[in-house]
Amino acid sequence: MPISEIHVCQCADCVQPEEHSNKQIHKQMNLLLSRLDEQQRRWYVAVETNRIGHGSLRWLSLIMGMDEKTIQRGQQEIEQGLVERPSVQVRLSGAGPPRVEKKTQL
Ligand SMILES: [Zn+2]
C-alpha cells in the first residue's frame, strides 16, 4: 500500500513562522487524514466542520486541503446518517483473508 502524502496546513496560524497552538493539532489532523480512505476523510472533515460551526467550511478546506464541495457532500452524507453508505470492515493486510459467505445456488 502506498504511503499517502500528508497535507501541510495552509491556514494563517500554520504559515506564520512563530509557534502557534494550532500548528500541532492541524498536523495531527492531516496525519490522521492520510491514513483514512476517501470517504472516511470526507466524513471526518465534515464532522469537524459541523463541530466548529459557522464559517468553518473555508477554514477546514484550507487546513485539510479538501475541496469545499467535497466537505459539503460529506456533511450531507453524515446528516443522512450514512444510509447510502454500507459499513465495510477494513482489514489490515496479513490479518487473513476476509470470510466470504457462500451464496446458496437455487
Ligand atoms: Zn493550520
- With respect to residue 104, please indicate whether it lies within any of the assigned structural domains: no
Q: What cell does 95 get? A: 490479518
Neighbours of 77 (CB within 10 A): 17
- With respect to residue 36, please indicate whether it lies within any of the assigned structural domains: yes
Q: What is the mean pLDDT of residues 72-95?
A: 83
- With respect to residue 18, please indicate whether it lies within any of the assigned structural domains: yes
- With respect to residue 16, please indicate whether it lies within any of the assigned structural domains: yes
Q: What is the mean pLDDT of residues 27-39?
A: 95
Q: What is the mean pLDDT of residues 4-28?
A: 93
Q: How many domains does the chain have?
A: 1
Q: What cell does 2 get? A: 502506498
- With respect to residue 72, please indicate whether it lies within any of the assigned structural domains: yes
Determine the distance separating the centroid of ligand 1 and the alpha carbon of 14, expressed in angstroms: 4
Long-range pairs for 49-57: beta carbons < 8 A, 24 or more residues apart: 49/75, 50/75, 50/78
User: pLDDT at residue 3 above 60?
Assistant: no
User: pLDDT at residue 2 above 60?
Assistant: no
Determine the distance separating the centroid of ligand 1 and the alpha carbon of 16, expressed in angstroms: 10
Query: What is the pTM assigned to this prediction?
Result: 0.76
- With respect to residue 52, please indicate whether it lies within any of the assigned structural domains: yes
User: pLDDT at residue 1 above 50?
Assistant: no
- With respect to residue 102, please indicate whether it lies within any of the assigned structural domains: no
What is the residue range of 37's domain? 12-79
Would you place residue 5 in the very low, low, confident or very high pLDDT band (cuts 50, 70, 90)? confident
- With respect to residue 103, please indicate whether it lies within any of the assigned structural domains: no
CA contacts within 13 A on the Cβ side of 38: 4
